[in-house]
Structure 1
Amino acid sequence: MKKIGVLGAGAMGRGMIKNLIESGYEVYVYDPSSKAQEISKNMGADVLNSPREVGAVVEILLASLPTSQAVKDSICGENGALQSLKEQSIICDMSTTAVSTEKELYALCKEKEIGYLDCPVSGGPMGAENATMSIMVGGDKEIFDKSKEVFNIIGGNIFYLGKSGSGQTIKICHNMVLAVTTISLVESFITAVKAGVNPKTLADVFKVSVAKSGTLDVFGDNLVNGTYEKTIFALSHMHKDANLYMGLADELKTPSPVSSVVYQLFNAAINKGLGSKDQTAVAEVLEEMSDFRIAFNQ
């Protein structure tokens, strides 16, 4: 039986673990959360005490973690996986992190003759559960080819994008488009509902017109009903990703006037304590500014 490690058994990691076990892999997991540990054990995974312990028993390692620092600590920290992984092993970082972090870890792994891919995903927890995620991969083509079997088990649309950092670059740009689209939808919904249009009617029209979008398909119900507490993608994660985009745009000296305003609105939402709610809760900032609620007037 093939052995694989997973660092992070949260909303995304759980789906990956399930699909790998169902495909016949022996899965070793590290997550500091006792709840995540219990869920992983119930699925049939072996839960170990550190990334270092996981690295000692696997040849391929997936990381699904919330921040760049968490990825660095889990891979090259004192109890990180690099302390025990053997040469020719492969690390696949499925997290959304800074491009600079991925390039740094790629170079470090290269020195140790360990393959490293940045391969962030899109599709949310449901995509992870159903193995329909899009996976955006950057790194050496040879390492990608060796990892494709795993990617095909946990994802549906697999893209090899080129050199290290390419996967994260596209994912960060993707999520900024999601953030911008969310704000655009919020503005248009407030305007239309203020004018007397039912928000569900507006959503139904948009979904079959040029203004249709994946953002509306996935997050539309929360926007229409004001159910921002039903978290599909946490606002804190969107804020983090928007911040990553702004850092990359600044590094590349890319003018980003629209993204700058959108980032400030998500920043305001964080300051209002909305981080644990769905990313559509950014609507509360604009609803307060306009003294009007989208869902209240249905």
Structure 2
Amino acid sequence: MALGYSVHAFGRLFSRMYTSGASSDLVGFIGLGNMGLPMARNLMAKGHRLVVYDTVKTQVDAAVSDGAIAATGPSEVAKQATTICTMLPASQHVRDVYTSPGGIFSAVQSGSLLIDCSTIDRDSAIEMSELAKENNTQYIDAPVSGGVGAATNGLLTFMLGGPDDCYERAKPLLEKMGKNVFHCGENGAGQATKICNNMLLAIEMIGTSEVLLMAQNLGLDPKLCSKVINASSGRSWSCDTYNPCPGVMENVPSSRNYEGGFGTGLMRKDLTLAQAAAVGSKSVTPLGAMALHIYNLMCQHGFEKKDFSSVYKFLEQEN
């Protein structure tokens, strides 16, 4: 063939030419962990081209194998994409990714939309929104609920905090990763809603674990007991969708030694945020405080990297 190019080689050359430089239809995605990678995959499956970054190379490689473009850091993502999603573990990671010398704000394009799906403290979200305004960009806090299963299947719930126009701009993209997109108020309101949800989730998971352990001590079958609960007034997501007792449900962390899913350390982080918010708002939350105490103990006893439903195993050891 003339010039020595095969058809496949020419296709790869064209692809590199087409995807180089800034592009208005290219979406940036930073943070490819247990939640971020399946979220990114859903965007690609639904027609978006992605430029991605994560500190863990194997996660980047996994996204690239599905068609994403790898970036060397947050600033390179910001140079190429005018819509950027971030999905990071905690407030400090969000600050680093956005404000460090090689961060998003060091290279962000005017008019960009920044969607942070991390769960962080409300004040940090408000601070990021103010910095975004200084850089002539829009920022919206959009934490998620639903776990890895919902992230994989595009069934997440998004809780958004930001101006109306920012919400309307972000919603079509988020609907490709989730089934519910709620506008909770101004910047910070999404984070406030998320910590309320996760405090209740932690309390429910502890209660579900206590009940199923007690059921077995009473000679009951935990699978049958769960069916009864799920058809009765004690039903909860922790029991009917994410059951913590091994052998009751398939394809949940309890069926694979509590690997994957939402880590105990992350639940401790969210409960810490919730208790700080409770103190700041003068809210009485005795069960929330006890849940934080239990998850602190779990982290001290080797459960930090296990899914948060491993509270069942922790309590079982105490029996």
Name the TM tier (shorter chain). Answer: over 0.9
CA distance in 1, matches of 2:122, 2:244: 33
Q: How many residues align?
A: 290
1:251 shift after superposition:
1.4
Deviates more, 1:218-227 or 1:153-162: 218-227
Q: Tell me the residue number matched to 1:248.
A: 277
- What corresponds to 1:284 in structure 2? 313
Match of 1:37 in 2: 60
- Residue 65 of structure 1, aligned match among 85, 88, 94: 88
Cα deviation, 1:227-280, whole Å, max 9, x if unaligned, reads: 543433221111111111111111112111111111101100000011111212
Find 2:289's aligned residue among 237, 243, 260.
Answer: 260
CA–CA distance in 2 between the matches of 1:136 and 1:217? 23
The answer to whether the 8 Å contact 1:67/1:96 transfers is: yes
CA distance in 1, matches of 2:191, 2:260: 23
1:114 aligns with 2:137: yes
SS at match of 2:181: strand
* C-alpha contact (below 8 Å) 2:83/2:112 kept by paired residues: yes
What is the SS of the residue equivalent to 2:175?
Answer: helix
- CA deviation digits over 1:203-232, x for unaligned, max 9? 111011111111112321545566543433
Alignment correspondent of 1:163: 186
Matched, 1:105 2:125: no
- The letter of the residue matching 2:34 is A
3-state secondary structure, aligned to 1:276: coil
Q: Are 2:209 and 1:180 equivalent residues in the alignment?
A: no
8 Å CA contact 2:209–2:244 kept in 1: the answer is no
Instruction: Tell me, yes or no, if the aligned pair for 1:223 and 1:280 is still in contact at 8 Å.
Output: no
Native 8 Å contact 1:203 1:224 kept in 2:
no
| 1:229 and 2:252 matched | no
Write the letter of the residue equivalent to 2:157. Answer: S
CA distance in 1, matches of 2:149, 2:260: 12
Whole-Å Cα distance in 1 between the matches of residues 152 and 67 of structure 2? 15
Aligned with 1:27 (options 47, 50, 75)? 50
Distance 1:222 1:78, change over 3 A: farther
Return the TM-score normalized by structure 1. 0.93
Q: CA deviation at 1:126?
A: 2.1
Correspondent of 1:152 among 166, 175, 178: 175
Q: Among residues 40, 55, 61, which one is paired with 2:78 in the alignment?
A: 55
Pairing of 1:115-134 with structure 2 (within 5 A): 115-134=138-157
- Where has structure 1 moved over 3 Å in runs of 4 or more? 221-228
SS at match of 2:304: coil
Give the TM-score normalised by structure 2.
0.87
Unaligned 5+ segments in structure 1 are: 291-298
Residue in 2 aligned with 1:296? none
SS at match of 1:161: strand
Shift of residue 192 of structure 1? Answer: 2.0
Q: Deviations over 1:87-108 (max 9, x none)?
A: 2111100011111110111111
Q: Is the 8 A contact 2:264 2:304 kept in 1?
A: yes
Distance 1:81 1:103 in 2: 16
Partners of 1:170 and 1:105 lie apart in 2 by 18
Q: What corresponds to 2:165 in structure 1?
A: 142
Amino acid at match of 1:7: I
Contact 1:132 1:155 (C-alpha < 8 Å) held by counterparts: yes
Match of 1:9 in 2: 32
Identical columns (%): 29
8 A contact 1:103–1:165 mirrored in 2 = yes
For 1:176, give the aligned amino acid: M
Relative distance call for 1:172 and 1:7 in structure 2 (3 A) is same
Q: Is the 8 A contact 2:108 2:135 kept in 1?
A: no
> 1:272 maps to which residue?
301
SS of alignment partner, residue 115 of structure 2: strand
Shift in Å, 1:24? 2.4
Moved more, 162-171 or 229-238: 229-238
